[in-house]
Amino acid sequence: MRGKYHIIIQNSRIKFEFDIKRNITVIRGDSATGKTTLISLLDMYERMGEESGVSISCEKKCRTINNANWETVIDSSSDCIIFADEDVKAIKSDEFAVKVKESGNYFVLVTRENLHNLPYSVEEVYGIHSSGKYMDIRQTYNSFYRLYEFGEYTDRKKASTIVVEDTNSGYDFFKGISSDETECISAGGKAGIKGILKNKTDKNILVIADGAAFGSQMAEIYLYIQSNPEISLYLPESFEWIILSSGLIDGNRIKDMVQNTENYADSADYFSWEQFYTKILVTETQGTVYRYSKQKLNEVYLNEKEKNALLKVIEVIKGLI
Protein backbone atom coordinates (compact mmCIF):
# COMPACT_ATOMS: atom_id res chain seq x y z
CA MET A 1 0.00 0.00 0.00
CA ARG A 2 1.25 3.45 -0.82
CA GLY A 3 -0.09 6.98 -1.08
CA LYS A 4 -1.57 9.70 1.10
CA TYR A 5 -5.17 9.38 2.31
CA HIS A 6 -7.56 11.97 3.69
CA ILE A 7 -9.92 10.56 6.32
CA ILE A 8 -13.09 12.07 7.77
CA ILE A 9 -14.87 10.19 10.57
CA GLN A 10 -17.95 11.82 12.08
CA ASN A 11 -21.37 11.63 13.60
CA SER A 12 -23.79 14.39 14.62
CA ARG A 13 -21.69 15.28 17.65
CA ILE A 14 -18.05 14.97 16.67
CA LYS A 15 -15.80 15.03 13.63
CA PHE A 16 -12.23 13.81 13.08
CA GLU A 17 -10.33 14.89 9.97
CA PHE A 18 -6.72 13.96 9.22
CA ASP A 19 -4.24 12.59 6.67
CA ILE A 20 -2.33 9.29 6.71
CA LYS A 21 0.72 8.74 4.50
CA ARG A 22 2.95 6.09 6.12
CA ASN A 23 2.48 2.52 7.18
CA ILE A 24 2.55 3.44 10.88
CA THR A 25 0.92 6.49 12.47
CA VAL A 26 0.83 6.90 16.25
CA ILE A 27 -1.68 9.04 18.15
CA ARG A 28 -0.66 9.88 21.70
CA GLY A 29 -2.29 11.88 24.46
CA ASP A 30 -3.75 11.65 27.92
CA SER A 31 -7.28 10.62 28.84
CA ALA A 32 -10.20 12.73 27.59
CA THR A 33 -8.35 13.88 24.47
CA GLY A 34 -10.61 12.04 22.02
CA LYS A 35 -8.47 8.97 21.33
CA THR A 36 -10.99 6.42 22.58
CA THR A 37 -13.85 8.25 20.86
CA LEU A 38 -12.10 7.95 17.51
CA ILE A 39 -11.79 4.17 17.82
CA SER A 40 -15.34 3.86 19.15
CA LEU A 41 -16.78 5.62 16.11
CA LEU A 42 -14.86 3.36 13.77
CA ASP A 43 -15.91 0.27 15.68
CA MET A 44 -19.59 1.28 15.66
CA TYR A 45 -19.52 1.89 11.92
CA GLU A 46 -17.82 -1.45 11.29
CA ARG A 47 -20.49 -3.30 13.31
CA MET A 48 -23.62 -1.35 12.33
CA GLY A 49 -22.84 0.52 9.13
CA GLU A 50 -24.98 3.62 8.40
CA GLU A 51 -27.38 2.67 11.21
CA SER A 52 -24.63 3.65 13.66
CA GLY A 53 -25.04 7.31 12.72
CA VAL A 54 -21.35 7.37 11.83
CA SER A 55 -20.03 8.27 8.39
CA ILE A 56 -16.53 7.60 7.08
CA SER A 57 -14.95 9.26 4.06
CA CYS A 58 -11.76 7.58 2.83
CA GLU A 59 -10.49 6.00 -0.39
CA LYS A 60 -9.44 2.92 1.58
CA LYS A 61 -11.44 0.70 3.90
CA CYS A 62 -10.92 1.48 7.59
CA ARG A 63 -10.99 -1.41 10.07
CA THR A 64 -10.47 -1.86 13.81
CA ILE A 65 -8.88 -4.70 15.75
CA ASN A 66 -9.32 -5.97 19.30
CA ASN A 67 -7.60 -8.48 21.58
CA ALA A 68 -9.54 -11.40 20.14
CA ASN A 69 -9.39 -10.75 16.40
CA TRP A 70 -6.23 -8.76 15.68
CA GLU A 71 -4.39 -11.55 13.86
CA THR A 72 -7.42 -12.58 11.81
CA VAL A 73 -8.21 -9.01 10.76
CA ILE A 74 -4.64 -8.25 9.70
CA ASP A 75 -4.29 -11.53 7.81
CA SER A 76 -7.58 -11.02 5.97
CA SER A 77 -7.02 -7.35 5.12
CA SER A 78 -5.40 -5.88 2.04
CA ASP A 79 -4.96 -2.19 1.23
CA CYS A 80 -6.77 -1.18 4.41
CA ILE A 81 -6.14 1.33 7.17
CA ILE A 82 -6.26 -0.61 10.44
CA PHE A 83 -6.90 1.21 13.71
CA ALA A 84 -6.06 -0.07 17.20
CA ASP A 85 -6.02 1.50 20.63
CA GLU A 86 -3.87 0.69 23.65
CA ASP A 87 -6.41 -1.82 24.96
CA VAL A 88 -5.12 -4.18 22.27
CA LYS A 89 -2.24 -5.63 24.28
CA ALA A 90 -0.67 -7.24 21.23
CA ILE A 91 0.49 -3.94 19.75
CA LYS A 92 3.49 -4.02 22.13
CA SER A 93 4.54 -7.51 21.07
CA ASP A 94 7.10 -8.79 18.59
CA GLU A 95 4.37 -10.87 16.98
CA PHE A 96 2.40 -7.75 16.17
CA ALA A 97 5.50 -6.07 14.72
CA VAL A 98 6.05 -9.06 12.42
CA LYS A 99 2.43 -8.87 11.23
CA VAL A 100 2.79 -5.15 10.50
CA LYS A 101 6.03 -5.71 8.62
CA GLU A 102 4.52 -8.46 6.47
CA SER A 103 1.27 -6.60 5.91
CA GLY A 104 0.50 -4.31 2.99
CA ASN A 105 -1.82 -2.22 5.17
CA TYR A 106 -1.45 1.10 6.97
CA PHE A 107 -1.80 1.14 10.77
CA VAL A 108 -3.03 3.90 13.09
CA LEU A 109 -2.12 3.06 16.69
CA VAL A 110 -3.77 5.07 19.45
CA THR A 111 -1.57 4.58 22.49
CA ARG A 112 0.55 6.20 25.18
CA GLU A 113 3.09 3.37 24.89
CA ASN A 114 6.39 4.02 23.10
CA LEU A 115 6.20 0.80 21.01
CA HIS A 116 9.93 0.12 20.71
CA ASN A 117 9.28 -2.87 18.47
CA LEU A 118 7.99 -0.67 15.62
CA PRO A 119 10.08 1.74 13.48
CA TYR A 120 7.73 4.70 13.18
CA SER A 121 8.65 8.24 12.24
CA VAL A 122 8.82 11.24 14.56
CA GLU A 123 6.86 13.03 11.82
CA GLU A 124 3.91 10.68 12.30
CA VAL A 125 3.36 10.99 16.04
CA TYR A 126 0.29 13.13 16.71
CA GLY A 127 -1.98 14.47 19.39
CA ILE A 128 -5.64 15.37 18.83
CA HIS A 129 -6.67 19.01 18.75
CA SER A 130 -10.27 19.99 19.40
CA SER A 131 -11.69 23.27 18.15
CA GLY A 132 -13.75 23.47 21.31
CA LYS A 133 -16.77 21.90 22.98
CA TYR A 134 -20.16 23.25 22.10
CA MET A 135 -23.75 22.52 23.06
CA ASP A 136 -24.97 19.02 22.34
CA ILE A 137 -26.45 19.99 18.98
CA ARG A 138 -23.12 21.27 17.73
CA GLN A 139 -20.37 19.13 16.30
CA THR A 140 -16.93 19.12 17.92
CA TYR A 141 -14.20 19.25 15.29
CA ASN A 142 -10.98 17.34 15.88
CA SER A 143 -7.79 17.32 13.84
CA PHE A 144 -4.33 15.92 14.45
CA TYR A 145 -1.33 18.05 15.34
CA ARG A 146 2.28 16.94 15.18
CA LEU A 147 3.37 16.17 18.71
CA TYR A 148 7.08 16.96 18.39
CA GLU A 149 8.14 20.34 17.07
CA PHE A 150 11.67 21.72 17.15
CA GLY A 151 12.94 25.25 17.52
CA GLU A 152 15.57 27.05 15.49
CA TYR A 153 19.24 26.14 15.78
CA THR A 154 20.44 29.72 15.38
CA ASP A 155 22.23 31.52 18.20
CA ARG A 156 23.52 28.22 19.60
CA LYS A 157 27.13 27.49 20.38
CA LYS A 158 29.11 25.05 18.31
CA ALA A 159 28.60 21.54 19.72
CA SER A 160 31.45 20.11 21.75
CA THR A 161 30.09 16.61 21.13
CA ILE A 162 28.18 15.13 18.19
CA VAL A 163 26.30 11.91 18.94
CA VAL A 164 25.37 9.98 15.80
CA GLU A 165 22.82 7.19 16.05
CA ASP A 166 24.61 4.52 14.01
CA THR A 167 28.12 3.22 13.36
CA ASN A 168 27.86 3.17 9.56
CA SER A 169 28.21 5.63 6.68
CA GLY A 170 26.30 8.39 8.44
CA TYR A 171 28.68 8.29 11.35
CA ASP A 172 31.69 8.24 8.98
CA PHE A 173 30.42 11.38 7.25
CA PHE A 174 29.72 13.43 10.38
CA LYS A 175 33.01 12.38 11.92
CA GLY A 176 34.74 13.36 8.68
CA ILE A 177 33.30 16.88 8.68
CA SER A 178 33.72 17.50 12.42
CA SER A 179 36.44 19.85 13.60
CA ASP A 180 39.35 18.64 15.71
CA GLU A 181 37.80 20.33 18.76
CA THR A 182 34.55 18.39 18.41
CA GLU A 183 34.16 14.85 19.69
CA CYS A 184 32.06 12.70 17.35
CA ILE A 185 30.81 9.45 18.83
CA SER A 186 28.41 6.72 17.78
CA ALA A 187 25.53 5.66 20.00
CA GLY A 188 25.61 2.18 18.47
CA GLY A 189 21.90 2.43 17.67
CA LYS A 190 19.01 4.66 18.66
CA ALA A 191 18.52 2.93 22.03
CA GLY A 192 22.01 4.02 23.13
CA ILE A 193 21.45 7.76 22.77
CA LYS A 194 19.72 8.36 26.09
CA GLY A 195 22.52 6.69 28.07
CA ILE A 196 25.18 8.82 26.39
CA LEU A 197 23.27 12.02 27.09
CA LYS A 198 22.88 11.19 30.78
CA ASN A 199 26.54 10.27 31.20
CA LYS A 200 27.90 13.41 29.54
CA THR A 201 28.74 16.20 31.98
CA ASP A 202 29.13 18.72 29.16
CA LYS A 203 25.63 19.04 27.69
CA ASN A 204 26.60 21.13 24.64
CA ILE A 205 25.66 18.17 22.43
CA LEU A 206 24.23 17.71 18.96
CA VAL A 207 22.30 14.46 18.49
CA ILE A 208 21.78 13.20 14.93
CA ALA A 209 19.43 10.28 14.32
CA ASP A 210 17.21 8.84 11.58
CA GLY A 211 13.85 10.51 12.07
CA ALA A 212 12.12 7.95 9.85
CA ALA A 213 12.35 5.31 12.60
CA PHE A 214 12.97 7.33 15.77
CA GLY A 215 9.40 7.79 16.97
CA SER A 216 9.60 5.19 19.73
CA GLN A 217 12.53 7.00 21.38
CA MET A 218 11.12 10.49 21.18
CA ALA A 219 8.96 10.68 24.31
CA GLU A 220 11.90 10.12 26.68
CA ILE A 221 14.49 12.01 24.62
CA TYR A 222 12.19 14.98 24.02
CA LEU A 223 11.38 15.24 27.73
CA TYR A 224 15.08 15.02 28.63
CA ILE A 225 15.98 17.77 26.16
CA GLN A 226 13.31 20.06 27.61
CA SER A 227 15.28 19.91 30.88
CA ASN A 228 18.60 20.31 29.05
CA PRO A 229 17.94 22.95 26.37
CA GLU A 230 21.61 23.17 25.39
CA ILE A 231 21.22 19.74 23.71
CA SER A 232 20.25 20.02 20.03
CA LEU A 233 18.40 17.27 18.19
CA TYR A 234 18.57 16.91 14.40
CA LEU A 235 16.35 14.25 12.86
CA PRO A 236 16.56 14.04 9.06
CA GLU A 237 14.69 11.09 7.57
CA SER A 238 18.04 9.26 7.27
CA PHE A 239 21.58 9.83 6.04
CA GLU A 240 20.55 8.28 2.72
CA TRP A 241 17.77 10.89 2.49
CA ILE A 242 20.40 13.63 2.91
CA ILE A 243 22.39 12.28 -0.05
CA LEU A 244 19.30 11.84 -2.23
CA SER A 245 18.19 15.40 -1.36
CA SER A 246 21.58 16.89 -2.27
CA GLY A 247 21.16 16.76 -6.05
CA LEU A 248 24.31 14.68 -6.47
CA ILE A 249 22.18 11.85 -7.83
CA ASP A 250 20.65 13.60 -10.83
CA GLY A 251 17.13 13.35 -12.09
CA ASN A 252 13.65 14.71 -11.47
CA ARG A 253 12.53 11.17 -10.66
CA ILE A 254 14.83 11.04 -7.61
CA LYS A 255 13.68 14.49 -6.53
CA ASP A 256 10.06 13.41 -6.72
CA MET A 257 10.81 10.22 -4.76
CA VAL A 258 12.29 12.33 -1.97
CA GLN A 259 9.54 14.95 -1.93
CA ASN A 260 6.61 12.55 -2.36
CA THR A 261 7.92 9.33 -0.82
CA GLU A 262 4.44 8.13 0.11
CA ASN A 263 3.74 7.59 -3.60
CA TYR A 264 6.74 5.26 -4.03
CA ALA A 265 7.49 3.42 -0.76
CA ASP A 266 5.10 0.46 -0.64
CA SER A 267 4.38 -0.57 2.95
CA ALA A 268 4.46 -4.22 1.89
CA ASP A 269 8.12 -3.84 0.91
CA TYR A 270 9.52 -1.29 3.37
CA PHE A 271 9.03 -1.35 7.13
CA SER A 272 10.18 2.30 7.26
CA TRP A 273 11.08 5.00 4.76
CA GLU A 274 14.72 4.73 5.85
CA GLN A 275 14.80 1.29 4.20
CA PHE A 276 13.31 2.76 1.04
CA TYR A 277 15.90 5.55 0.82
CA THR A 278 18.72 3.06 1.35
CA LYS A 279 17.44 0.76 -1.41
CA ILE A 280 17.03 3.63 -3.89
CA LEU A 281 20.46 5.10 -3.13
CA VAL A 282 22.26 1.75 -3.41
CA THR A 283 20.45 0.95 -6.67
CA GLU A 284 20.90 4.36 -8.30
CA THR A 285 24.63 4.63 -7.47
CA GLN A 286 25.66 1.09 -8.37
CA GLY A 287 28.54 1.18 -10.86
CA THR A 288 29.06 4.95 -10.46
CA VAL A 289 31.57 7.12 -8.63
CA TYR A 290 28.91 7.66 -5.97
CA ARG A 291 28.50 3.96 -5.22
CA TYR A 292 26.90 3.73 -1.78
CA SER A 293 27.30 1.20 0.99
CA LYS A 294 25.51 1.58 4.30
CA GLN A 295 28.30 -0.19 6.17
CA LYS A 296 31.18 2.12 5.18
CA LEU A 297 31.18 5.58 3.63
CA ASN A 298 32.46 6.01 0.10
CA GLU A 299 35.13 8.69 0.64
CA VAL A 300 33.98 10.57 -2.46
CA TYR A 301 31.26 12.06 -0.26
CA LEU A 302 33.97 13.84 1.74
CA ASN A 303 35.43 15.55 -1.34
CA GLU A 304 34.84 19.29 -1.42
CA LYS A 305 32.06 19.34 -4.03
CA GLU A 306 30.16 16.40 -2.57
CA LYS A 307 30.65 17.51 1.03
CA ASN A 308 29.31 20.99 0.27
CA ALA A 309 26.27 19.53 -1.49
CA LEU A 310 25.40 17.52 1.62
CA LEU A 311 26.15 20.45 3.94
CA LYS A 312 23.64 22.52 1.98
CA VAL A 313 20.93 19.97 2.80
CA ILE A 314 21.78 20.08 6.51
CA GLU A 315 22.43 23.82 6.56
CA VAL A 316 20.06 24.22 9.51
CA ILE A 317 22.72 22.69 11.80
CA LYS A 318 25.84 23.92 9.96
CA GLY A 319 26.76 26.31 12.77
CA LEU A 320 26.71 23.49 15.32
CA ILE A 321 29.20 21.23 13.54
Name residues whose C-beta falls within 8 Å of residue 138's C-beta, 6 or more positions apart in sequence.
none
Of 5-9, 17-21, 35-39, 227-231, least confident by mean pLDDT is 35-39
Residue 137 confidence (pLDDT) above 60: no
In terms of pLDDT, which residue wins out, 236 or 145? 236
In terms of pLDDT, which residue wins out, 135 or 164? 164
Cβ-contact 184, 171 below 8 angstroms: yes
Give the mean pLDDT of 153-157.
68
Report the alpha-carbon angle 157-312-168, nearest 5.
80
Give the mean pLDDT of 18-37.
80
Residue 135 has what pLDDT?
Answer: 32
- Give the tens place of pLDDT for each residue, 69-105: 999 999 999 999 999 998 999 999 999 999 999 999 9
pLDDT-derived band at 35, boundaries 50, 70, 90: confident
pLDDT-derived band at 250, boundaries 50, 70, 90: confident
C-alpha distance from residue 318 to each of 145, 158, 159, 179, 230 (Å): 28, 9, 10, 12, 16
Rounded-to-integer distance, Cα 118 and Cα 101, Å: 9
- Give the tens place of pLDDT for each residue, 287-306: 999 999 999 999 999 999 99
Residue 219 has what pLDDT?
Answer: 86
Residue 136 confidence (pLDDT) above 50: no
Q: State pTM to two decimals.
A: 0.90
Q: Which amino acid is at 194?
A: K
Residue 269 confidence (pLDDT) above 60: yes
Mean pLDDT over all residues of the chain? Answer: 89
Residue 154 has what pLDDT?
Answer: 58
Residue 9 confidence (pLDDT) above 60: yes
Nearest C-alpha neighbor of 23 from the set 303, 268, 229, 306: 268
Pairing of the two strands 140-146 and 125-130 = antiparallel
pLDDT-derived band at 320, boundaries 50, 70, 90: confident
Residue 171 confidence (pLDDT) above 70: yes
Residue 31 confidence (pLDDT) above 80: no
pLDDT-derived band at 207, boundaries 50, 70, 90: very high
Residue 229 has what pLDDT?
Answer: 85
- Give the tens place of pLDDT for each residue, 97-120: 999 999 999 999 998 888 999 999
Residue 196 confidence (pLDDT) above 90: yes
Give the mean pLDDT of 22-37.
77
Cβ-contact 310, 302 below 8 angstroms: no
Of 226-230, 269-273, 276-280, least confident by mean pLDDT is 226-230
Give the mean pLDDT of 201-210.
91
